[in-house]
Amino acid sequence: MFALDPMVYALLCGLALALAASVAAWAVSFVKGDVSIVDSLWSLLIIGAGLACAAALPERGPRAVFVLVLAGLWALRLSAHITWRNHGAPEDHRYRAIRARNQPHFEWKSLYLVFILQAVLAWIVSMPLAAAISGGAALGWLDLAGAALVLFGVAFESVADWQLARFLLHRNSSGAVMDRGLWRYTRHPNYFGEWCVWWGFFLIACAAGGWWAVVSPLLMSVLLLKVSGVGLLEKDIGERRPAYREYIAHTNAFFPGPPKGEAR
């Protein structure tokens, strides 16, 4: 009888868990008429895939607990923040646009357009966790460097989220632009923090011999910069919010740096 390689089996277990959780979330969204729930689920799918992989492996390496604790810290914080941010709010404008483009019967189409797609992407992003869990090499300096980058990223995006939440709570105009704190040095400090997190996990994967997991930070970089992150959010924001055009003129898009000077 054909037997799967233990690592392949563990990865497939992670995918199965992500798909099952996404289908369950889709059922909830079907009843609510709002697919924004998938944003709260995203980070939980990733840590869930990692945990399923760890449970399915016959043997786990010395960094399994180490990397899962780091990933759990990241995942729970991000999911809690998004859930709090979206509580009581209407469906996110990104999903309203997808809904409008995919009528009729978007409620059914969202199963594969949103939820299954997110599950597969989350599974791919979770690859460094699987590589780190399975690797047998002893812990070393690369693990410490990766953990430091992960913790820096979590702290950076946490501060950025907190600063933005306070700004939105106290702003005097709906057209006002957040350009203070970390937002003075990059227009998307939360996304930059996320970028650091996944390159950090990749370093830990490399310490375990899992260089193949580079697909994860590369995919995350594309998503953050070109697909669902910077590119999508800024597609037409200058038309909707004129003050944002000035912000773009003197603030780095992604990587933090000194302001370019006041816009004229």
**Rounded average pLDDT over 7-22:** 96
Angle value at C-alpha 174, between 236 and 229, nearest 5 degrees = 40
Min mean pLDDT across 100-104, 112-116, 136-140, 177-181 is at: 136-140
**Rounded average pLDDT over 165-185:** 87
What digits encode the pLDDT tens for the residues 202-218? 999 999 999 999 999 99
Average confidence score pLDDT of the chain: 91
What digits encode the pLDDT tens for the residues 124-161? 999 999 999 998 888 999 999 999 999 999 999 999 99
- 2 pLDDT tier (thresholds 50, 70, 90): low
Q: What's the first-to-final CA gap in the chain, in angstroms? A: 72
Domains of the chain, residue spans: 1-136, 146-264
**Rounded average pLDDT over 72-82:** 98
CA distances, 52 to each of 16, 55, 157, 254 (Å):
9, 5, 26, 33
Amino acid 259 reads P
| d(C-alpha 207, C-alpha 132), whole Å | 8
Q: Is 87 left (phi over 0), alpha (psi -120 to 50) or beta?
A: beta
What digits encode the pLDDT tens for the residues 29-49? 999 999 999 999 999 999 999
Residue 48: both structure tokens together: 């869930």
- Smallest CA-to-CA distance from 75 within 164, 227, 198, 217 is with 198
Eight-class DSSP state of 228: S
Residue 191: both structure tokens together: 């996304």
pLDDT in the model for residue 264: 41
pLDDT at residue 261 greater than cutoff 70: no
Residue 248: both structure tokens together: 């773009």
CA distances, 155 to each of 101, 160, 189, 242, 253 (Å):
37, 9, 11, 31, 19
Angle value at C-alpha 206, between 205 and 210, nearest 5 degrees = 70
Report whether 53 contacts 14 (CB < 8 A): yes
Please give the helix or strand (H or E) that residue 41 lies within, else none: helix 37-56
- Smallest CA-to-CA distance from 236 within 38, 94, 95 is with 94
Q: How many residues does the chain have?
A: 264
| d(C-alpha 25, C-alpha 35), whole Å | 9
- 172 pLDDT tier (thresholds 50, 70, 90): confident
